[in-house]
Amino acid sequence: MRAAHRRTALLAASVIAVPLLLTGPATAAPPQEETGPGADELLVIGHRGASGYRPEHTLAAYELAARMGADYIEPDVVSTRDGVLVARHENEISGTTDVAERAEFADRRTTKVIDGVELTGWFTEDFTLAELRTLRAVERLPDVREENTLYDGLYQVPTLDEVLELREELSRELRREVGVYIETKHPTYFDSIDLSLEEPLVEDLDEARLDHRRAPVFVQSFETANLRELDGVVDVPLVQLLSATGAPADLVAAGDERTYADLATAEGLAEIAEYADGVGPEKGQVIPREADGTLGDSTSLVDDAHAVDLLVHPYTFRNENTFLPAELREGAAPDDYGRAIDEQLAFWATGIDGMFTDNPDTGVVSRDLFED
């Protein structure tokens, strides 16, 4: 059993007043031992980079996350028309780029059904990489993160190759391994249009010499079949993402009636352990909210997962009131910061092995408080 699993709950969800650096990067983290998988560290994963401070999935967001001390940076990947993996949370890009303002691409606006959901907009698979590179990233949540709109129009959509290169450069500069936690988005859909994500992923990892068991890499997915396939192909650890609702798109497509709720049972987790090394649940699957929005009691998910040697990395921790339990909000403004550290301490105390956060500096503070 990993050391992290043996940690007892040293701190309850106590109220600890800690001043936070809210708007800028923390100083570079000091050199550390290897923090790759198996190193028994509690991991802070920069969700879409430091997306609380920069438009998500840009090199600037990833770089800031690493400089804030994130152990891993998290690119979600989709494909271009010419088969290049690029970092976007979804293939429909009107919410995170300026594509809607580009007259030259007006005729690419279209409607598609992705994983059973009808979407209208612009899709990465309809753009070559060269075309996509003419776009610029914008903040997804301008109402919540108005400060981030300062950076609208500055950054391109990065390729996965570029993210891996940045990872290497930052690891060298910071004198610690910065990990990369890659999520393939909509793999069944991309298979259906002959733009399978797995082959270019394996190629990119190979080229970066990152396909080995001790590489600072996780590969994650909300689907199951692609992870089973990758299990026989790559040596890096795999993480099955879970959700509080719904079912994996590949199971739905295959007529398999299992849902995420089924996967999160002790029996479902034992099956996941046959091909994966961890699970990434929605944070409410670890500590659900009560009807009034306050934190409730933790579920058995962490213990059940650890019982079959699966790591547990819940998502997504954010500083703003709108994302926090009711009792940890400060003031009425949804975009003001609440007591995010207290929320995170409650989650560390359940025995989780890491967390995805839009605010890696906050995650580092809470992790360090918990470990002290």
Residue 224 or 369 having the CB closest to Ca ion: 224
Residue 9 or 119 having the CB closest to ligand G3P: 119
What distance in Å separates the CA atoms of residue 108 and residue 130, rounded to the nearest whole number?
A: 15
Q: Which of residues 52-81 bind Ca ion (CB under 5 A)?
A: 76
Q: What backbone torsions phi and psi does residue 95 show, to the nearest 5 degrees?
A: -85, -15
Q: Which of residues 215-234 bind ligand G3P (CB under 6 A)?
A: 220
Q: Which of 89, 186, 306, 313 is catalytic?
A: 89
Residue 241 touching ligand G3P (CB under 6 A) = yes
Q: Which of residues 181-210 bind ligand G3P (CB under 6 A)?
A: 183
Q: Is the Cβ–Cβ distance between 80 and 127 less than 8 Å?
A: yes
Residue 285 touching ligand G3P (CB under 6 A) = no
Nearest CA among 234, 157, 242 for reference residue 197: 234
Q: Which of residues 49-78 bind ligand G3P (CB under 6 A)?
A: 76
Among Ca ion, ligand G3P, none, the one that 265 touches (CB under a kind-dependent 5 to 8 A) is none
What distance in Å separates the CA atoms of residue 337 and residue 76, rounded to the nearest whole number?
A: 26
306 carries an active-site annotation: no
274 class by beta-carbon count within 10 Å (0-12 exposed, 13-18 middle, 19+ buried): exposed
Q: Which of residues 158-217 bind Ca ion (CB under 5 A)?
A: 183
- Using CB under 6 A as the criterion, what x/- string covers residues 147-176 for binding ligand G3P? ------------------------------
The least distance separating Ca ion from the CB of residue 270, rounded to whole angstroms, comes to 24
Which ranges of the chain does DSSP label H, i.e. alpha helix? 3-6, 59-67, 129-132, 160-174, 187-192, 198-207, 225-231, 249-253, 260-263, 266-272, 301-307, 340-348, 360-371
Q: Which of 5, 47, 186, 306 is catalytic?
A: 47
The least distance separating ligand G3P from the CB of residue 287, rounded to whole angstroms, comes to 17
- The kind and range of the H/E element at 107 are none
Residue 247 or 369 having the CB closest to ligand G3P: 247
Residue type, 304: D
What distance in Å separates the CA atoms of residue 93 and residue 370, rounded to the nearest whole number?
A: 38
240 class by beta-carbon count within 10 Å (0-12 exposed, 13-18 middle, 19+ buried): buried
> Among residues 122, 347, 356, 370, which is the contact residue for ligand G3P, using CB under 6 A?
356
Residue 72 or 370 having the CB closest to Ca ion: 72
Q: Is the Cβ–Cβ distance between 32 and 176 less than 8 Å?
A: yes
CA angle 245, 289, 65 (to 5 degrees): 80
What distance in Å separates the CA atoms of residue 201 and residue 164, rounded to the nearest whole number?
A: 11
> Which residues fall within 8 angstroms of residue 195, CB to CB, at 6 or more apart?
79, 81, 83, 125
- Using CB under 6 A as the criterion, what x/- string covers residues 309-348 for binding ligand G3P? ------xx--------------------------------
The least distance separating Ca ion from the CB of residue 183, rounded to whole angstroms, comes to 4
57 carries an active-site annotation: no
As beta bridge partners, residue 43 has 354
Whether the upstream peptide bond of residue 294 has omega within 30° of 0, thus cis, is no
Residue nearest to ligand G3P (CB): 315
The footprint of ligand G3P on this chain (CB under 6 A) covers a number of residues equal to: 10
The least distance separating ligand G3P from the CB of residue 10, rounded to whole angstroms, comes to 26
Residue 223 touching Ca ion (CB under 5 A) = no
The least distance separating Ca ion from the CB of residue 313, rounded to whole angstroms, comes to 11
The least distance separating ligand G3P from the CB of residue 179, rounded to whole angstroms, comes to 14
Binding site for Ca ion (CB under 5 A): 76, 183
| Residues annotated catalytic, as ranges | 47, 89
Binding site for ligand G3P (CB under 6 A): 47, 76, 89, 183, 220, 241, 280, 315-316, 356
